[in-house]
A = this chain, B = another copy of it.
């Protein structure tokens, strides 16, 4: 059955409260009280078999008896009754269920929760929760929650995975002066998840920025897709970045993939801006909800104080929007509105002598000037000026500039008068902050938003159309032998199927075969033990390199075999791999994990000490386009290495990007088969000369 749209959930014209109570203090009472007190205009149907009237509303004995199929039901009955209520609502035709009740999967009872969702979906109904505070919506004057009041009005809507935090944020919105249109408690996400709400809020005329407090997604991929399709700014505070352990990872890549890094990659791919902490979530949401994106990189800062100007300069560098000097014509014009000892560079320091007129003139000129992509106006409270008048001058200047669509943020450092002036600015659509670095951070968020959307919207370069069946055949063979990993030769065969340039490697089962293969491949060669029982080949004395002739090949064959048997007497030895000896190049490591939240995920890093000592790696949720791969190269600290250092030619980054793209296609197509994998090392040669995968490893997924 087709599931209901969320319109009835977010903008219900009528609402049933199942578990309504006449006892003040009970949640079933608080919800009724909140609907009434906060001005909800729709019909309210309290349901309680033992009451006739609550707060003036007529009470119904059960869902069936209410006079219409309400748009939504708010459910507060104990957990054990919830399944019946869901069913009753379904029969009545109530499609949106806000289940406040707790005591489900969060205390271990996953089954009951799943049954409710199953039942709801049978009727096409949707469930928000369970284990939530509810929904607060200013535009609907709908407080369908036990939060004590609607938040300060604003243009962001916030989704919170913590109920306690949602209630605290509700109250703190008034203190911070940062408002929200909606606060949505998402709880256990048994049915409706972040992706559903992002999709709905992106179309909501009362929401201009989607904010979220995230502890963890159930399905990371639907989240990414929903965000990529959205056009509004989305900002997330992700908590629990220090908790995730990758303790028992079987591959190198697995041991390097922490939640913070994979979530960070996913947010970037989704076009979601990150908040550093709770204050930052408020600060950045405010700017994102009120101002347009910053489309270029020229940021101009106006100030009446050198000190805050320098602090803003530092912040601009820190937050990725470094200041550049304005062109001469801009400086010349600005110079007219300051004393001789002022500065028209950037920051533009009008000095403490700046009053309303100078603020008006410099703001109007700067905002209108084509060089300026974004404007930050700073003000230190002085005895000679009135903060509110300065605020009004700034606002009027922006309005009078004749220009639209550029971001402006403001910081006033001062006392009560400055705070009031900033409230006025926010009420008039200009985000304002109590410290200069916050105004810079806010405009940096608007710059990030623009850059991310550019990336999300770029045409993906696809690397598809490979021989999936052949790969599965190799894997199945290993499985039938009871193995949970492929040998190097098998892994390289799978890589080859996906077009990865592996070193030629073939299996010799006798000394003579080894010599023949070495001749076929061409000396010098490398020889390695192939045994599913020996994973660390070097430790076992199972690797010989730079074998230059037949005699050496024969010697190597016997030595390796002897070493392997000494290392593990009963090892199952497939034979000895004879391998092309690739010329040396820049070592990189590629790899994949199957992230529990995001599924197949690629890793890239430089080899050697970069990965071993510095853990200098970066991630992307697969598939990874070539453009995304090229961006990965600039994200690691060792980035200059690939660009060419110490007079070396640049490395073949395009070829490497192509390999990442193909590799990522492989882990997507084979996601039911591959758990983790490494290509380590991959040697990258100078531009035009390609790359070579020297060693390969594939760990299989356990099948049920």
Contact = CB atoms under 8 A, between A and B. Distances in A.
Interface stretch (A51-59, A300-308, A496-504): A300-308
A550 interface: no
Nearest to A164: B305
Interface string A215-244: 100000000000000000000010111110
Contacts of A602: none
Given A383-B30, A638-B609, A171 B240 contact: no
Interface residues on A, range: 35 or more
A278 B172 contact: no
A307 B172 contact: no
A637 interface: yes
A306 B162 contact: yes
A307 B164 contact: yes
Interface stretch (A69-77, A411-419, A448-456, A528-536): A411-419
Nearest to A279: B435
A308 B167 contact: no
A176 B30 CA distance: 33
Contacts of A541: none
Interface stretch (A40-48, A313-321, A464-472, A505-513): A313-321
A246 interface: no
A305 to B, nearest CB: 3
Contact of A645 (B148, B160, B418, B613): B613
Given A169-B413, A215-B310, A419 B175 contact: yes
Nearest to A352: B164
Residue among A170, A237, A243, A306 having the largest count of chain B Cβ atoms under 10 Å: A306
Contacts of A169: 413
Contacts of A176: 434
A332 to B, nearest CB: 21
Given A307-B164, A646-B612, A277 B435 contact: yes
Contact of A175 (B107, B304, B318, B434): B434
B174 A612 contact: no
A461 interface: no
Contacts of A142: none
A243 B162 CA distance: 42
A380 interface: yes
Given A307-B164, A609-B638, A277 B171 contact: no
Residue among A147, A305, A641 having the largest count of chain B Cβ atoms under 10 Å: A305
Interface string A365-393: 00000000000000011110000000000
B413 A307 contact: no
A613 B636 CA distance: 11
A571 interface: no
Given A175-B434, A239-B310, A341-B107, A165 B305 contact: yes
Nearest to A213: B307
Contacts of A307: 160-162, 164-165, 213, 215, 239
A613 B317 CA distance: 20
Interface in A149-178: 160-165, 167-176
Nearest to A239: B310
Interface in A471-487: none
A275 to B, nearest CB: 11
Nearest to A323: B242
Contact of A434 (B148, B172, B242, B640): B172
A614 interface: yes
A418 B172 contact: yes
Contacts of A318: 242
A167 B316 CA distance: 24
A415 B169 CA distance: 8
Contact of A381 (B171, B322, B416, B646): B171
Nearest to A25: B384
A381 B165 CA distance: 9
A194 interface: no
B30 A416 contact: no
Contacts of A380: 164-165, 167-168
A317 B418 CA distance: 35
A307 B278 CA distance: 11
B172 A414 contact: yes
Given A146-B383, A380-B167, A637 B612 contact: no
Interface string A610-622: 0011100000000
A30 B384 CA distance: 12
Contact of A612 (B175, B416, B609, B645): B645
B413 A277 contact: no
Given A437-B278, A645-B613, A175 B415 contact: yes
A311 interface: yes
A436 interface: yes
Interface in A269-322: 277-279, 304-308, 310-311, 313-318, 322
B435 A278 contact: yes
A425 B161 CA distance: 29
A251 B215 CA distance: 49
B164 A415 contact: no
A415 B167 CA distance: 10
Residue among A279, A352, A438, A638 having the largest count of chain B Cβ atoms under 10 Å: A279
A155 to B, nearest CB: 20
Contacts of A316: 242
B175 A243 contact: no
Contacts of A315: 277
Nearest to A27: B383
B314 A239 contact: yes
A311 B164 contact: no
B415 A172 contact: yes
Given A175-B414, A242-B314, 18 more contacts: A164-B304, A164-B307, A164-B382, A167-B381, A167-B382, A171-B416, A172-B415, A172-B418, A174-B415, A175-B434, A237-B311, A239-B310, A240-B314, A242-B316, A278-B311, A278-B435, A278-B437, A279-B434
Q: Which 5 residue pairs spanning A and B have beta carbons closest together?
A: A162-B307, A171-B415, A164-B305, A165-B307, A168-B413
11 contacts: A161-B307, A164-B352, A167-B383, A172-B381, A175-B415, A175-B418, A240-B313, A243-B310, A243-B313, A279-B434, A279-B437
Interface of A: 30, 107, 146-148, 160-165, 167-176, 213, 215, 237, 239-243, 277-279, 304-308, 310-311, 313-318, 322, 341, 352, 380-383, 413-419, 434-438, 609, 612-614, 637-638, 640-641, 645-646
